[in-house]
Each structure stands twice: as structure tokens, then as C-alpha cells.
Chain A
Amino acid sequence: MKENKQPLTTLSQQEQERYDRQVSIKGFGRKRQLKLKKARIIVAGIGGVGSSASMYLAVAGIGSLTVIDSGEVELSNLNRQILHWEKNLGTSKALSAATKLKQLNPDIEVTAREESITEDSVLKLLEGTDGVIDCLDNFPSRYILNDAALKLGVPVFHAACSGFEVRATTIIPGVTPCLRCLYPRELHQAKVPILGSIAGMAGNIATTEAIKLIAGLEPTLKNRLLIYDGLHLRYNLVNISRNPDCLFCKGVRTNEG
């Protein structure tokens, strides 16, 4: 993918015009837009949640975006994975996504990683990033991502969905519960039923969280789990706490000033 050659200390005339409608939000401004430009964000999993998450990170002007997925596009993905189209069937999801993200915003750097999140690869993949959007579709991979993020002090914007429901939280190592505090046991499901619009909401919530954290805007979903039930129109914000006995985040210190 083409690299972002824009200087990171200023907004070009084109960028000022491109981002004008968000820079003009009260309390946002050019300084926060520059923070987005300097940010390096990873989207782990380019499925239904990752599609919307990465699209809105791209158009918001996150300077460096890396999309990670080892999968290929299948027909049954197309009800929700809106970055992948029928012409992409059988091709790499990471490449399919990166190509379109670059077209959505040519001013940013987009990198495709056609690989799985494994214990061997994860630390190298996350090194130097400002945050990772957890859009993975299975608990083992989500736990691997969680454990590496704890080691590196990388914020994780967790988003998941099933049926009409969304769950999201913002994990700050050493500050908030980690994924293993929140979900000490996983739920095994062979196939998770998902409505595309709900996956999109999950991704958009996580992306909004990432943008706010990078831009320095509060409050966020730190120490809170959002439950959204789109079928019954219910919205709950549950207070969550670190498990003092969690073997994975016990002793993890915060990078937050």
C-alpha cells in the first residue's frame, strides 16, 4: 500500500477540508485531529465488526492503519462484512480491506497483514501501536490478543456481537479489567448468528472509543461494559472491575500518565 507522505505536525489544505466537519465539533479542533493523524491503530479481524471499524478509522484520518486477517472472503460473509464484495470471493480479506480503505482515504497509510493472531506472532504485530480494535471472531484469539496487549501496555477496544446484541468495552492495561477478568470462561459456539447492521454498530462503537481515547476525550467505556440489544431496544452500561486474582493482568502497571 502507498505510504502516507504527509508531515505529521500539520494538516495540509486538503486534510483541513476533508476533516472540517469533525474538526468543527465543539471541543474537537485541529489539535485533536493531529493526534489522530499521528496515531497507529491495528484492526484485528476484518469481518463484520472489523469492516465498519476500519472504514470509520480510515475516514476519520487515523494516520496509520494496519488490518490483520488470515482469512479469505466467503459468500456467507457478505451479509455483514461490507468491505468485501462478491468480486472478492476467494481472495485475502486483509488485502480486500486494505485496497478499499486506501481508496476511502488516500491520505493515510494502510498496511495489510495476511496472518493469524498467534502466540508467536502477536507481540511483533502489536509493537509500537497506539491501540488495537479487537474484532476477532473467537475467544482463543481474543485471549491471545488480550495477553499481548497487557504485556505491551496497548489499549484494546473490544467489540463483539451475536444476533441483535452488541458488547463493547475499552481495556486499558493496568487500569481496567482485562478480557480474562471480564470473561474468565468462553462460550463455545460453532457458528455465531449475526445481523450485519448490528456488527456494524459494534465496530462503530469501538472506533468511536478509539478516536476518543486518542483525541483525549472522555468519558469512554473504561471500566464499563456496554450491552446493546437491538431487538428489544435495550441499552445497559454495566460497571466492571478488575479481578484481583486474575493471573493475566495482576501486577500489570498502567502506561497512563
Chain B
Amino acid sequence: MKVKVLLFAQHCEAVGKKEIEVDLGKIDKITAGELYQRLAREYPKLKKLAKVTLAVVNNDMVNARALVKDGDEVAFFPPMGGA
């Protein structure tokens, strides 16, 4: 399965890209949390953001247990409190 991942704020900085296409090969389902862990192995700077990371799947904010399917659009970003 393939998914598109959008990255915002510190997550965008950690990866160095605003979005990435992720090819998960023969895997046909994965949770948002597991997807984040896989990305963090490839982009280690994501690890320190893990505890505050918010996830969105197809424009709905979800928890880490939410399932991601082939063709889904996922977004990861941190809380924002500055002004």
C-alpha cells in the first residue's frame, strides 16, 4: 500500500519536506501510530516529537490507533501555542 503523508511545523522541519509518499509494500493496513514509528526510523528527528504528535487521516483528526489504508492522506504535526 501507498500513502501520502503531509508534514507541518516542526514535523516538516524534522523531515525536511512538506510531504512524502510512503510505499509500504505488501502491508495492507497500518495504524497511524505505527506509520509514525516507521517514519521516525527513517527520519530520526521525528522521534523527539512523538509524544506531542497529532495525526490526521483523510482530514479527520484521529488517535494513534486509527487505521490507515491504501491511498489515504495522512498528516502529522505538533500542537501550536505561540502568538
Chain A residues in the interface with B (C-beta under 8 A): 45, 47-50, 135-139, 142, 159-163, 165, 167, 182-183, 185-187, 189, 192, 194, 199, 202, 225, 227, 229, 232, 234, 236-241
Contacts and interface: CB of A to CB of B under 8 A. Distances in A.
B83 A45 contact: yes
Contacts of B60: 238-239, 241
Chain B binding surface, main DSSP class: mixed
A162 B61 contact: no
Contacts of B78: 187
A240 B83 contact: no
A185 B51 CA distance: 8
A49 B27 CA distance: 44
Contact of B8 (A160, A199, A227): A227
Nearest to A140: B81
Size class of the B contact interface (CB-based, 8 Å): 20 to 34
A5 B63 CA distance: 51
Given A165-B9, A236-B59, A160 B52 contact: no
Contacts of B52: 185-187
A237 B82 CA distance: 20
Nearest to A165: B9
Contact of A160 (B51, B61, B81): B81
Interface string B1-40: 0000010111010000010000000000000000000000
